[in-house]
Every structure is written in C-alpha cells, then in structure tokens.
Amino acid sequence: MSKEYKGVWVFAEQRDGKLQKIALELTGKGREIADKLGESLTAVLLGHNVSNQAKLLIESGADRVLVADDPLLKEYTTDGYTKVICDLINERKPEIMFIGATYIGRDLGPRVAGRIHTGLTADCTALDIDGETKNLLMTRPAFGGNLMATIECSNYRPQMSTVRPGVFSVPDTNAGRTGEVENVNVNLADKDIRAKVVEIVKSVKEIVDITEAQIIVSGGRGVGNQEGFSILRELAEALGGTVGGSRAAVDSGWIEKNFQVGQTGKTVRPKLYIACGISGAIQHLAGMQESDYIIAINKNGDAPIMGVADLAVVGDLYKVVPELTREVQALKG
Ligand code: FAD
C-alpha cells in the first residue's frame, strides 16, 4: 500500500457550533491509534464560526485541527460536507479516517468513501492496529449481533470507519497541550449544494438517558404490542421513572433502541427495575442484574428473570401493572 497516505484523521462533528461528545471520543481513540502507528492525529472541523472549538480538540489529543469555516457549512448538508472532506483527503492523503456513527456520520461516511473510492466499515465497536501489517482492524457486530467481525481494508486508502457513539470514553483533557490550528481554503459554491436547509425543527420528544434513571419499568415480548407499553409508561410516570425494554421489544418496534437494556443495549443500575413480560435471557440480565431492587412480573414462575428478582410476581402483566399503578397513585394521594 502506498506510503503516500499518512496520519489519522477524525471528523469533529459539531452542532450549533458545539462539538459533539462523539468528536472527543474519536479524538481519544484516534490518539491511541496514531501513537501505535507513530503518526500524527488530525481533527477535521467543518462549520461556520467554529474555530473556537479547536482548542478542546487539541487538549483532548489532536496534534492538528483543520478548520473549514464557511457560511455554507453552517448547517450540515451531504453535498457541502462531502465535497470539502473529499477535497481535503485528495490533497493531503490521510491513512485512516474515523467518523461518528451518528445520523450525520452515517450519511457522510459512505458518501465520502464512495466518492474517493475506498472501503468503509460502518458502526464499529472496536478499533486496533495489526502489529504486522499495520492495517487498521475494524470490529463490528455482524449477523444480528451474533458474532463480531473484524474487517481490514488492505487495498485502498484511507481506511475509513464510522464508530458507534458511547463505545469509547471521552479522554481527559490536558489544559497545557499545544497543537496546530490551520484554517483551510473552502472551495464551495451555492450551486454545489443541491439540498437547501429551509428550517431546522428540533424534535420535542423527551430524550431520556436510561443509564441515569433511578426507576425503570421495562417491557419485553410479553407486553405483546406497542399499545401495551402505555400501561408501563403510566406506572413509570406514577413512580417518577422511565420505561425500558428488552431486545425483543425493540426489534418488534414497540420501543426505541435507545431504551434497550442488555448486552447490546444499555447497562443500567437503577434503585428499582421492574421487568414486565421479560423472560430474563442472559443477554438481558447482563444489562440489569446489578439493579438495587428487581421486581419481575411474569406469567411463568419458572422464567429465569424470577431467579434474579427480589420480588417475583407470577401473573398477567395486564392485570398486575395497572393495579400497581393505581396503588402507587393512591399512596401519592
Ligand atoms: P421472551 O424471551 O420471548 O420472553 C417473554 C416473556 O414474557 C416470557 O417469559 C413469558 O412468560 C412472558 N409473558 C408473556 N405474556 C405475558 C403476560 N401477559 N404477562 C406477564 N408475562 C408474560 N436481549 C436483550 O434484552 N438485550 C440485549 O441487549 C440483548 N442482546 C443480545 C445479543 C446477542 C448477541 C444475542 C444473541 C441476543 C441478545 N438479546 C438481547 C436477546 C435475548 O437472547 C432474548 O432473545 C431477549 O432478551 C428476549 O426478550 P424477552 O424476554 O422480552 O422475550
């Protein structure tokens, strides 16, 4: 592989002029990979009036920040961001580029890879360098999460991957760390951007981080349908908690992936975890068995969840849950 390509790049995603957590997670991991290769780490920051964010990238481990500042880059557009990044890659030839697997990154990464004709491994959960070939080892779940595949891109450069947010930790900042901030020329005109952003409407739906919830009422396949989750929500509301779900519930589309508890979801440790219609598969238990107090409501007294429960209620959740909600509401007056 051509020695022309050098250095590790990370896409420093910002929104409303503020770096996203994933940008720092990638900078931390990128630093580690760059050190393994003995190369430098560059963060690529696109936007308008965003150069004030460069300092944090350097303090988090970047050696250099390429700032592409232009009014046309204020809001993310596929055309605008793809063109600027492809121009930079073609000019400077990085060996590796990491992009967050966010809504923006999942749109941008494949478009850039396609345009510069290289490979991209999407949704990576681990990254390393092969000691012998020095190729990037990109690991991601495959076959519905049943096995982990490690993928190399041996013949094309840069090696590109999108990385799941939250997999790598945000590095500690080093306040005295210095680096280079370079403002790059942006060769972009209105006509290059075919989609026009007319208005940005923020989703009003409440985003809850279940890892921080003290009380979780979680539903599984036994809930039976999406409407069934409304009785779980009522109980969660009465208790001042939030809802969660098993993978079966998420796969059925009854609750969003953000709320999945377990090995491939979130690990939670609330004061109270109420499992409703969840059998207690090992992958689910992995994400909740450290909860302080577990109540399991299940028709089947022999379900594995009953084994880890502090209180096992054998019964139909459609009878037990509304009853429980009424009791809690009555206690609150
Ligand atoms: P089921 O196992 O089908 O259980 C449904 C339960 O509901 C049963 O116990 C039944 O008795 C009870 N029930 C039915 N009707 C009622 C009723 N009316 N009232 C009361 N109880 C009722 N799973 C996760 O949850 N999280 C993960 O992160 C996760 N990661 C995985 C990763 C891998 C690699 C693999 C292979 C699997 C993973 N799984 C995960 C899936 C896991 O193995 C189980 O398939 C899943 O947890 C089952 O979900 P469930 O308990 O909701 O459904």
Q: What is the reported pLDDT for 145?
A: 65
Write the pLDDT tens digit of every residue in 34-57.
Answer: 999 999 999 999 999 999 999 999
Fold of 6-192: Rossmann fold (3.40.50)
Residue 18 in this model has a pLDDT that exceeds 70: yes
Q: What is the reported pLDDT for 165?
A: 77
* Ligand 1 atom closest to 300 (CA): 11
Q: What is the mean pLDDT of residues 89-117?
A: 96
Residue 167 in this model has a pLDDT that exceeds 80: no
List all residues 6 or more positions away from 169 whose beta carbon is below 8 Å from its beta carbon: 25, 28
2 among annotated binding-site residues: no
- Tell me how far apart the alpha carbons of residues 205 and 158 are, in angstroms, rounded to a whole number: 38
Separation of 308 CA from ligand 1 center, angstroms? Answer: 15
Measured in residues, the chain has a length of 333
Q: What is the mean pLDDT of residues 163-183?
A: 91
- Tell me how far apart the alpha carbons of residues 21 and 26 are, in angstroms, rounded to a whole number: 9
* Ligand 1 atom closest to 249 (CA): 52
Write the pLDDT tens digit of every residue in 74-89.
Answer: 999 999 999 999 999 9
283 among annotated binding-site residues: yes
Residue 142 in this model has a pLDDT that exceeds 90: no
- Asked if domains 6-192 and 215-332 share a fold, the reply is yes
Q: What is the reported pLDDT for 246?
A: 98
List all residues 6 or more positions away from 34 whose beta carbon is below 8 Å from its beta carbon: 7, 8, 40, 41, 63
Residue 249 in this model has a pLDDT that exceeds 70: yes
Of the listed ranges 63-72, 159-168, 173-182, 231-240, the one predicted with least confidence? 159-168
Residue 217 in this model has a pLDDT that exceeds 60: yes
Report the pocket of ligand 1 as residue ranges, CB < 6 Å. 145-146, 220-222, 246-249, 260-265, 277-279, 281, 283-284, 287, 297-300, 303, 316-318
Residue 207 in this model has a pLDDT that exceeds 90: no
**Which CATH number describes the domain made up of 215-332?**
3.40.50.1220
Separation of 212 CA from ligand 1 center, angstroms? Answer: 23
Please give the radius of gyration of the chain, using alpha carbons only, rounded to the nearest integer: 23
Residue 206 in this model has a pLDDT that exceeds 60: no
Residue 157 in this model has a pLDDT that exceeds 60: yes
Q: Any idea where the domains of the chain sit in the sequence?
A: 6-192, 215-332
Residue 181 in this model has a pLDDT that exceeds 80: yes
102 among annotated binding-site residues: no
SS3 content of the chain, % helix, strand, coil (to 5): 35, 25, 40
Residue 251 in this model has a pLDDT that exceeds 80: yes
Q: What is the reported pLDDT for 144?
A: 64
Q: What is the reported pLDDT for 205?
A: 52
| φ and ψ at residue 74, rounded to 5 degrees | -60, -50
Give, using CA atoms, the residue closest to atom 26 of ligand 1: 262
Write the pLDDT tens digit of every residue in 107-136.
Answer: 999 999 999 999 999 989 899 999 999 999
* Ligand 1 atom closest to 279 (CA): 9
Q: What is the reported pLDDT for 233?
A: 96
Q: What is the mean pLDDT of residues 80-107?
A: 96
Q: What is the mean pLDDT of residues 206-213?
A: 75
246 among annotated binding-site residues: yes
Separation of 231 CA from ligand 1 center, angstroms? Answer: 19
Write the pLDDT tens digit of every residue in 270-324.
Answer: 999 999 999 999 999 988 998 999 999 999 999 999 999 999 999 999 999 999 9
Separation of 266 CA from ligand 1 center, angstroms? Answer: 15
Arithmetic mean of pLDDT over the chain: 94
Of the listed ranges 198-207, 208-217, 271-280, the one predicted with least confidence? 198-207
Question: 150: buried, middle or exposed (CB in 10 Å: 19+, 13-18, 0-12)?
Answer: middle
Residue 160 in this model has a pLDDT that exceeds 90: yes
Q: Which of 246, 266, 289 to mutate to test the pocket of ligand 1 (most atoms within 8 A of CB)?
A: 246
157 among annotated binding-site residues: no
282 among annotated binding-site residues: yes
Q: What is the mean pLDDT of residues 186-213?
A: 83
Question: 203: buried, middle or exposed (CB in 10 Å: 19+, 13-18, 0-12)?
Answer: exposed
Instruction: Using the structure block, give the residue that is written with the tokens 């039976």.
Output: 224
Residue 208 in this model has a pLDDT that exceeds 90: no
